[in-house]
Amino acid sequence: MTLDRSKLWTGDLNAKALEPQPRVTVGLYDTTLRDGEQTVGVVFSPEDKLAIARALDAAGVDRIEAGFPRVSEDDARAISLILDAGLEAEVWGFSRAVRADVEALVGLGVRASVIESPISDGKLAALGVSRETMLERIRAAISFAVEEGVRVAFFGVDSTRADLEFVRAAYESAVEAGAAEVVVVDTLGIATPEAAAFLVNDVAERLDYDVPVHWHGHDDFGLATAAAVAAVQGGATWVHGTVNGMGERAGNADLVEVALALEALYEIPTRLRLEQVRELARLVQERSGTVHAPWKAATGDNLFTRESGAVASQFHDPPAIEPYASEVVGATRGIVLGKKSGLDSIRIKLEELSLVFPPERHGELLDAVKRAGTEKRRLVSDGEFRRLVNRKRGRSSID
């Protein structure tokens, strides 16, 4: 969707620093239903996965990884439900470089899948498999999948810690076997943004820029969004991620954060409907039984909520206190009351609740709000504020 740039208040520094800038639309590949479910303690039912897939589709996500059918019967059923849902998004599967995994996907009617294989020496040693044996497995699984009519994106597990020459050999072998796309994978989230751009560009160059390159990254060092954006700068045309950054350990790149950064800061288009992302984030939280920090970028509850009196004094001028309009991500603006409130906070809240209270006594009301917020160590609710106002009015009539 085209982002209304009049609702962005980010200044011109980024444009000065970034030009010239690529403008190719970046595809979004969501793996909430597979990699996101690897979050400790999270179990999605098939019905949960169908509901999330429909929400992802409505939000404009291009590809939805429906799951790995050999994990369980429930996973296979979820894939079937999603395939039958008539979504606009492409439905992808997940497979190891194992013939039986591919057969399970084919049996369900999946027509596109990533096929994964470890390619770092550390992973290979842990599995007791040689480089050549792994290359043989990659070729065999991909060629079989392609023969069965499956579009394959080869997924090189731990590629950011692998020997560069073997990375090149693995991706070349995958493409020679029929892989139509490849995924550069930062399995443990160790790549700096610069390294992400370097490796993506190296793989793309090795494949003569003829094969679409994806980026799949994790957030162990808090760089997942930055690395994903850098990977796009390096030539990636697809970015993998999850809703709310769910995933194993520190999670995956948050697909919403990545899309917002690309669109708003880099002017690189995606097809995500940003105005729907907060509803999507809430749905995933509900279905997964997880919560995320209220200050989280793009979808956090606190982004457009103001407690500070100093900020409340500028509340009438959104560009002064916010980097983009709340409606960009489907949010609403609001004032809350507590220890950090100021006189403008009181005035705005009185107007919001249609309460009348003498302006010359707003200071008295502010003192009561600050005292209550400090004692309770939380915000003062609208109901509590109403009672404070009524109490102060009552005292005034007695006086």
> For residue 394, what pLDDT is reported?
79
Residue 398's pLDDT band, with cuts at 50, 70 and 90, is: very low
Average pLDDT of span 50-58: 98
Residues 311 and 352 in one domain: yes
Asked if residue 174 and residue 122 are part of one domain, the reply reads yes
State whether 233 and 198 are in the same domain.
yes
Q: What is the pLDDT of residues 224-254, one digit of tens each?
A: 999 999 999 999 999 999 999 999 999 999 9
**Structural domain containing residue 119:** 22-288
Which pLDDT value is given to residue 19?
77
Indicate whether this model's pTM tops 0.85: yes
The domain boundary, picked from 288, 315, 335, lies at 288
Same domain? For 218 and 93 the reply is yes
Confidence of residue 2 (pLDDT cuts 50, 70, 90): confident
Say whether both 93 and 234 belong to one domain. yes
Do 279 and 310 lie in a common domain? no
Same domain for 333 and 261: no
What does the alpha-carbon distance between residue 239 and residue 285 come to, in Å, rounded to a whole number?
Answer: 22
Does residue 42 sit within a domain? yes
Q: What is the CA radius of gyration of the chain?
A: 25
Q: Do 260 and 316 fall into the same domain?
A: no
pLDDT at 399 over 70: no
pLDDT (tens digit per residue) in 261-293: 999 999 999 999 999 999 999 999 999 999 989
pLDDT digits 0-9 by tens, 192-219:
999 999 999 999 999 999 999 999 999 9
The residue ranking higher by pLDDT, 312 or 23, is: 312
* Cβ count within 10 A of residue 66: 32
Contact 52, 66 (CB under 8 A): no
Domains held by the chain: number: 2
Closest-CA residue to 285 (of 328, 326, 250, 242)? 242
Domain end (from 258, 288, 318): 288
Residue 124 pLDDT > 60? yes
Report whether pLDDT(379) > 70: yes
Q: Verify that 247 and 326 share a domain, yes or no.
A: no
DSSP state of 264: I
Residues 287-296 as b or e (16 or more Cβ within 10 Å = b): bbeeebeeeb
Q: Residues 28, 255: contact at Cβ < 8 Å?
A: yes
Q: Please tell me whether residues 190 and 314 are part of one structural domain.
A: no
Give 397's pLDDT tier (boundaries 50, 70, 90). very low
Token pair listed for 374: 């400090």
What's the CA gap between 95 and 104, in Å, rounded? 9
* C-alpha distances out from residue 380 to 293, 313, 377, 384, 389, Å: 20, 19, 9, 6, 12
Determine the average pLDDT of the residues in 362-368.
Answer: 95
C-beta separation of 368 from 388 below 8 A = yes
> How far apart, in whole angstroms, are the C-alpha atoms of residue 143 and residue 102?
11
Structure tokens that stand for 3 in this block: 């982002």
Cα dihedral sign, 275-183-69-252: negative
Residue pLDDT, tens place only, 64-74: 999 999 999 99
